[in-house]
Chain A
Amino acid sequence: MIKNLKAPFIKTKASDHNIMRDVLIALMPVSVMAVVSFGMRSFLMLILGVVSAVFFEYAYQRILKKEVTIKDLSAAVTGLLMGLSLPSTAPLWMVVFGTAVAILLVKQLPGGIGKNTFNPAVFSRVLIKILFSPLITDWVLPGTDAVSTATPLSFIGDGSKTIPAEAPSFYDAFMGNIGGNMGEMVKWAILLGFAYLVVRKVINFWVPVSMLAGLFLTTLLFGESDPGFALYHVITGTAMFAAVFMVTDYTSGPLNNKARIYYALLIGILTGMIRYSFALPGGVGIAILLMNLLAPVLDGYCTPRVFGHKGRVIPTSSVLRR
């Protein structure tokens, strides 16, 4: 029995479970701030997201007699992301609908963790937007009074080149005193999660930075070189939240580091273009889904040169498979 043991005899402490736990921890600052801003209802929504996502994964795997993998916490992460990417005014059934689509259709149908082409939470969120748009654009300001407002993005999208005077200030956008989805509002909370993920080596520091740099540069171009306008794009909408928690998703992105940087950069550029060209504040989601499809192409293009070999051959078929 011992004879069959092969080197290496030691293993890193990091495991898939620990990685997902780290993502959950990194999502805590934004989750707490969502509950602080919108009260018990938002808390209920987040819990519902996690519980329903885990339930769907468990039920699917039990019914199809597969190994139950809810312990890896990836369903919990998807559920929490789902909850956080909706506004606090969204109906509760929509959270459940969202996790059902994310877990059953996007994640489990192609074969479970590691096999999905699209980011489950993003796909689901974009679908919700297309199907139920009026129900989820009832933006309110933080606080229990439910004061209706518009999101900052509605001031600067669709071809505008400057920030109108009535748009929220940079300070309010950074601190979260704006309308928006629950997770994306408080920027410093997102940065806290970002720092944690980088320190824990779960994500590459340059991936979110590249995504935001892509967005900044594109909007700079459209905004007639006004850095303030470009920066306003970066700190409003879902851009920062998506850069840290969606663009860095392992499964739906490319494998090697170089491809991941290009991927993030292109998502940023696409987001800027969509925001500018259409009256679509949800540009980030569509940009991510488009790049999800292109991720294998980037991986092929960025195939590393193996040490000791002069050229490189792009292993098309094996990169395309998940």
Chain B
Amino acid sequence: MDILKFFTVRGVRIPAHKEKTKDLKVESIKPSKHLYFPMAMHIGKPAKPIVMIGDSVKIGTLLGESEGGVSTNIHSSVSGKVVSIPKDESKKGLETVIIENDYRDDKVKLKDLNESITTEDFMKRLEEAGITGKGGAGFPAHIKYDMERHKSKYLVINGSECEPYSTADHRCMVEYASEIVKIIQLIEKTYEVDEAFIAVEEHMTESRDALKQALKERNAERITLYELPAIYPQGHSGLQIHQILGLEIEEGQRSGDIGVLQSNVSTIKAIYDAVFNNESFHKRIITVTGPMIKNPKNVMVRLGTQVEHIVEACGGFHPGVRINISGGPMMGKSFEDLTLPVDKDTTTLLFLKRYGKEEERACIRCAKCVNCCPVSLQPILISNAYRNREYEMGNILKSESCISCGICTYICPSRITLLEDIQKLNKALEGIEDD
């Protein structure tokens, strides 16, 4: 029992709210007439548009080219014609390629790969297919897979969708278990990894069983299925690696620096499509859910589809004041404009009822934030430092190690905006360092 444990478990159990969509098969929805491709569908530098107005495109036609470094290619997800390329001055002149769909679904494919694939080939394929981490951070995958420098190698596939409401990764594992295992076996062989793990959450039994079955069928004895407790935020990459391998990623390092290759299951599925089907990254599974949507669903959508089109396919909204969230309720971003296109990072579209803001009250020193912080920060002390304008305290309290999981604000009985204060302090600290 948790409550009798000597020191409470770091992290919290949050009501999962997954029952509405976890057993629903992924539905493909009919693409919309117009699709929107902002040249920043990922973290890092935006891509450079290489098409002109009037050009015909097919599924897989390159629209935007990677600018090198942390950047990625962007491909069309439908066949049709480029109708306009407006610049958004409010977003540093970011360009958006708009395509009119001709519903013919013509495809251009990537070249066949050699039988014996090398790590070089593999990275190149990820780069040309424009694959970014689909877990929500949107980090270009080919940079992650630059792993030549290491002796010991581990592969960790993240199937833990710890955010409440989201079931997209869960459905991906249930419906594509065999594909996922097949591509993991290929990566395992290509990168000569010592150990491979698939991390799943213990309460998501269907995805666990599907993978178990697939591992058996494909004789994948070297891949271990690792069941994580249903404690938020077990899906966080660093914490997950620590839990499974006992390795701790030091501040400023990436998982690659300690010899760990880590990918989300949906990224792995996109890699499968790129390697075995020669398809570039142009569609993904997302969960459309929340109490305000009429028919919650898991849907396969083309990148560039506007949210309002997806909402329509899910029966529209219930009446009432709503808050729209891209991502989960703990770490997602709210948005107002329903013309927002689905990009490479969109995992979930969540529509919650909106309540009035509860007034903040004085801290009662219950220390729930201190004792639940998964990275052992002391949120209330950081918040106090921010509010007292003692920004340099942030360095001593290591506020930059915050993973923005949101537990502190979630758990605070006095409704103190702890995460917001931590982020503001970090911003203030950045400002000091820049000067």
The answer to whether A and B assemble together is yes
Q: Which residues of A contact B (CB under 8 A)?
A: 2-3, 5-12, 14-16, 18-19, 69, 72, 74, 112-115, 198-199, 201, 204-206, 250-251, 253, 255-258, 260-261, 303-310, 313, 315, 317-319, 321-322
Greatest chain B CB density within 10 A among A8, A199, A318 is at A8
Given contacts A6-B417, A255-B380, 8 further A-B contacts (CB under 8 A): A3-B336, A7-B331, A12-B410, A16-B414, A69-B361, A255-B365, A255-B370, A256-B371
Majority DSSP secondary structure for residues of A touching B? loop
Q: Which residues of B contact A (CB under 8 A)?
A: 3-4, 6-8, 14, 164, 238-239, 242, 248-251, 253, 323-325, 327, 329-334, 336, 350, 352, 354, 358, 361-367, 370-371, 374-378, 380-381, 384-385, 390, 393, 396-398, 401, 404, 406-407, 409-415, 417, 419-420
The chain B residue sitting closest to A319, CB to CB, is B381
Q: Which residues of A contact B249 (CB under 8 A)?
A: 308
Q: Which residues of A contact B239 (CB under 8 A)?
A: 307
Q: Which residues of B contact A198 (CB under 8 A)?
A: 3
Of the A-B pairs whose beta carbons lie under 8 Å apart in the complex, a sample of 16, sorted by A's number, is A6-B419, A7-B334, A10-B14, A11-B410, A11-B415, A250-B367, A257-B371, A304-B376, A306-B377, A306-B401, A307-B376, A308-B248, A308-B251, A309-B401, A318-B381, A318-B397
Bound Cα distance A15, B365 (Å): 12
Bound Cα distance A283, B363 (Å): 30
Q: Which residues of A contact B370 (CB under 8 A)?
A: 255-256
Of the candidates A5, A8, A253, A310, the one whose C-beta lies within 8 Å of that of B330 is A8
Q: Which residues of A contact B327 (CB under 8 A)?
A: 7
Q: Which residues of A contact B358 (CB under 8 A)?
A: 11
Residues A9 and B325 in contact in the complex (CB < 8 Å), given A15-B415, A313-B396: yes
The chain A residue sitting closest to B380, CB to CB, is A255
Say yes or no: A306 contacts B398, CB within 8 Å: yes
Greatest chain A CB density within 10 A among B3, B354, B384 is at B3
Say yes or no: B330 contacts A315, CB within 8 Å: no
Say yes or no: B384 contacts A318, CB within 8 Å: yes
Chain A's nearest CB lies how many Å from the CB of B66? Answer: 29
Of the candidates B8, B332, B333, the one whose C-beta lies within 8 Å of that of A257 is B8
Q: Which residues of B contact A260 (CB under 8 A)?
A: 367
Bound Cα distance A5, B417 (Å): 11
Chain B's nearest CB lies how many Å from the CB of A246? Answer: 15
Bound Cα distance A305, B401 (Å): 11
